[in-house]
Amino acid sequence: MALGQLQNPKSKLQNSLTIQISTLKRQSPSPAGLVGGCLRVVGPRFVGTLRSAFASFSLLRSEFAGPIFDSMPFQTTLTHYYARRAREYEQIYQRTERQEDLQNLRERILATFAGKHVLEIACGTGFWTEVLAGCAASVTATDMSEQMLAIARAKQLDPGVVTLAQADAYALPGFRRHFNAGLAGFWWSHVPKGRLPGFLHDFHRSFVPGSTIMFVDNVFVEGSSTPISRRDGDGNTWQMRRLQDGSTHEVPKNFPTEPEIRATLAGLATEVKIEFLKYYWVLTYTAGHHA
């Protein structure tokens, strides 16, 4: 897929190098330490070998996920978690009590994106891509996880409308700025608070001035949401999530208030509208212009 090839090759290398640095800091005889030793031997010039080491590290990490990896970069851990969750992901959309809210979201998406050229990031299994396919002029839906994208591809959405491609939401390829609308479902909550303004600034570069952007995300509902396991020093909240294969993963998941969302968008957006449903919040705004 051509768009997949557009992915910024630096981003993967940077991820690998970040992991290398994090790993080298560890002196314990943990699996991470063992891989750190391996990385020390191969050196940063041998990118292919480094990537193999990274793959081994991901495997080891999948077996030993837990608090020892807390200092790993957010996005790498998150991508790994979702890759592993891909096959069971859409169960979250089958919960009976959420159907009314989900229908509400569907209608908003249909109304907002009708006739638009949409860039969707972190599209996952393409649950919302399918809705976009029914109303938008074109949809480019991207995600970091090939496992997620494989499920989206299996939906066989109209290829005349939908293009699926792998892309890191933090390092989007140059799309020639032809999009006039953007969608991100359940992504804002996973972006570290301190990283949101920079992420939004870069994200907006993919759009023509005046584009409509929508973020949809979860409201924390006691008894329904996964409990918060801890709050880190930067104010991000985390959840311990268990997958059907028995693995557990600590995942960043923030539940911002309306004032927090508005403050984050200061200087980046106009016409900001935020609505809180029972289980979800919906943010729409007009993206600010960027050079």
Ligand X SMILES: C[S@@+](CC[C@H](N)C(=O)[O-])C[C@H]1O[C@@H](n2cnc3c(N)ncnc32)[C@H](O)[C@@H]1O
**Interacting residues with ligand X (CB under 6 A):** 75, 78-79, 82, 121-124, 127-128, 143-145, 148, 168-170, 185-187
- The distance of closest approach from Cβ of residue 120 to ligand X in the complex, given in angstroms and rounded to an integer, is 7
If one counts every other C-beta atom within 10 angstroms of the C-beta of residue 252, the result is: 19
- The distance of closest approach from Cβ of residue 29 to ligand X in the complex, given in angstroms and rounded to an integer, is 29
Q: What is the DSSP letter of 44?
A: T
User: What is the C-alpha to C-alpha distance for residues 38 and 24, in angstroms, rounded to an integer?
Assistant: 10
- The distance of closest approach from Cβ of residue 108 to ligand X in the complex, given in angstroms and rounded to an integer, is 13
User: What is the C-alpha to C-alpha distance for residues 65 and 32, in angstroms, rounded to an integer?
Assistant: 10
Residue whose CB is less far from ligand X, 128 or 285: 128
- The distance of closest approach from Cβ of residue 142 to ligand X in the complex, given in angstroms and rounded to an integer, is 7
- The distance of closest approach from Cβ of residue 5 to ligand X in the complex, given in angstroms and rounded to an integer, is 16
Helix (H) or strand (E) holding 100: helix 99-113
Residue whose CB is less far from ligand X, 203 or 285: 203
In sign, the C-alpha dihedral spanning 198, 113, 252, 257 is positive
- Answer whether 284's CB lies under 8 Å from 105's CB: no
Residue whose CB is less far from ligand X, 42 or 195: 195
Residue whose CB is less far from ligand X, 36 or 185: 185
Residue whose CB is less far from ligand X, 78 or 268: 78
Residues in the chain: 291
**Residues 18, 21, 23, CA angle at the centre, nearest 5°?**
105
